[in-house]
Amino acid sequence: MRRAATAALSGGLLLAASPLAAPAQAAPAIPSISAKGGYMVDQATGKAIYGKSNNTRRQMASTTKVVTAITVLTTPGVNLNRKVTVKQAYRDYVVREGGSSAKLQTGDVLTVRQLLSGLMLPSGCDAAYALADTFGTGSTTAARTKSFIGMMNKKAAKLGLKNTKFDSFDGISQGGQNYTTPADMAKMARHAFSSTVLQEVVKATKYVTTATTSKGTKRTYTWTNTNTLLGSYKGAVGMKTGTGTAAGPCLIFAATRNGKTYVGVVLNGTDRFRDAAKLLDFGYGSTTAKSMSLRSLPAGTQRD
């Protein structure tokens, strides 16, 4: 049986040692991960379990969308059934930027709840645009999206995240001023995962829903979750992928086993899903990562 270990962070790396003098038992080996930065915490207590380059600023790509989602969900009086009409501008933006898409169709009417799934599962930049345009304030789309990004930055400041800044509602950064650190993003992820609605959204490997078109007919949307840790690692329950030229492959992850939930982040990792599995194994005292086979995505599914 694995004994509990005390954890301390020193120089950005985790040090683990058994608090018990006898009987002697070696602490589990600190995992080696491909990611340039990583951090994991106990969801219930916020206690740090693992850290690597904890406070080094890095771009985070579409993991930004976790912040987009929780900014929406913590808006006072948020109505998940609020109807939003898809604008052509959202589609044009995805094409112009080469962003990942929920393939929203102009004139379709979806609810905020539906858009959250379109945001988080296929990593829809069009869904992110729709939410920012809907929840920001101002007389123009540009003003509203700028306002929404300001709301994201206020949330980071409220959480005390001094090394985090957003210049984007979806992770597509024009000026490179969309960055965080492993420690900051893990804290943000812990905050986001306290939302039961977000938990419900991000645990789904697939989401099928129906929207009303501009002609009054029905259109079915089917979104596959790009987070292949789900369905591959026992207990995985979220949270969000992200990939960018500057950011590299990134992942915010969460898992629950026997009532214990860990949330974490890996930034710029060539093997991000196995990195996450290794960190979770470290927390749970298991060896799942060694034999884990990643869930396959259907042909044609976007990667992010």
Which residues have a catalytic role annotated? 62, 65, 123
Tell me the residue ranges of DSSP E strands in 131-272. 179-180, 206-212, 218-224, 236-244, 248-257, 260-267
Q: Please tell me whether the peptide bond between 23 and the residue prior to it is cis, using omega within 30 degrees of 0.
A: yes
**Helical spans, DSSP H, in 10-104:** 64-73, 88-97
Could you tell me if 122 and 170 are in contact, meaning their C-beta atoms sit under 8 angstroms apart? Answer: no
Could you tell me if 187 and 161 are in contact, meaning their C-beta atoms sit under 8 angstroms apart? Answer: yes
Cα 34 from Cα 270, distance rounded (Å): 6
Q: Could you give the 3-state DSSP secondary structure of residue 167?
A: coil
Residue 6: other Cβ atoms inside 10 A: 11
Cα 40 from Cα 28, distance rounded (Å): 15
